[in-house]
């Protein structure tokens, strides 16, 4: 009996996971401060993405849709009563600006890669970062340094 070939949807989703899992895992861990919680959040995000794969692919910005699923999954598994608030940035800033800051500053990704992972055009990413900078300038420390 010949080996079964994965469906086009299954193969596409598997490729999506293979491409995005490393960055998704690092992002979740950075936001949650815990590898196990991060892994749980990413597993939840991928399960939700898989269940809505056909709808996601019909979205004009499928990577942005997948990114929102990840962000929501991380927020869902985040403990509310943590003494060390590692996710403070996401409590203070609009989600896209906070995400861009985590990916760019905490994980060291280049702006083009951040835009790709988040599924947004690079100019939109820069607007989010500038908005975050303006909002945070009133504090003791500016978290987002000026772009070179």
Sequence spans of domains, the chain: 10-83, 87-148
Domain 87-148 indexed as CATH 1.10.3470: no
Neighbouring CB atoms inside 10 A of 78's CB total 20
Tokens encoding 69: 């699923």
End-to-end CA distance of the chain: 60
Percent of the chain scored above 70 by pLDDT? 82
Per the prediction, the chain carries an average pLDDT of 84
Tell me, what's the pLDDT at 79?
Answer: 81
For residue 12, the surrounding DSSP H or E stretch is helix 8-32
Kindly report, residue by residue over 108-123, the tens digit of the pLDDT: 999 999 999 999 999 9
pLDDT in tens, 7-32: 556 889 999 999 999 999 999 999 99
Task: Tell which wins on pLDDT, 81 or 100.
Answer: 100
pLDDT of residue 131: 79
Per-residue CA distances from 135 to 7, 59, 139, 143 (Å)? 47, 31, 9, 10
The pTM (predicted TM-score) of the whole model is: 0.82
Q: How far apart are CA 86 and CA 117, in angstroms?
A: 22
Structure-token match 């597993």, residue found: 43
* Residue 33 φ/ψ region, left for φ over 0, alpha for ψ in the -120 to 50 degree band, beta for the rest: left
Mean pLDDT (whole number) for 1-12:
56
Name residues whose C-beta falls within 8 Å of residue 109's C-beta, 6 or more positions apart in sequence.
23, 103, 117
Distance CA 27, CA 51 (A): 22
Q: What is the pLDDT of residues 33-82, one digit of tens each?
A: 899 999 999 999 999 999 999 999 999 999 999 999 999 999 999 887 65
Among 16, 98, 108, residue whose Cα is nearest residue 53: 16
pLDDT of residue 91: 81
Side-chain-side CA neighbours of 51 within 13 Å: the count stands at 7
Q: What is the pLDDT of residue 148?
A: 32
């Amino acid at each position: 009996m010949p080996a079964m070939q994965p469906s086009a949807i299954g193969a596409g989703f598997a490729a999506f996971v293979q491409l995005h899992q490393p960055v998704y895992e690092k992002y979740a861990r950075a936001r949650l401060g815990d590898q196990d919680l991060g892994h749980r959040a990413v597993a939840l995000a991928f399960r939700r993405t898989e269940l809505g794969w056909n709808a996601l692919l019909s979205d004009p910005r499928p990577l942005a849709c997948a990114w929102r699923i990840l962000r929501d999954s991380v927020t869902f598994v985040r403990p509310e009563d943590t003494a060390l608030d590692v996710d403070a940035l996401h409590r203070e800033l609009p989600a896209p600006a906070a995400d861009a800051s985590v990916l760019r500053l905490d994980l060291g990704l280049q702006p083009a890669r951040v835009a790709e992972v988040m599924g947004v055009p690079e100019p939109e990413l820069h607007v989010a970062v500038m908005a975050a900078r303006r909002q945070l300038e009133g504090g003791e420390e500016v978290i987002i340094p000026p772009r070179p």
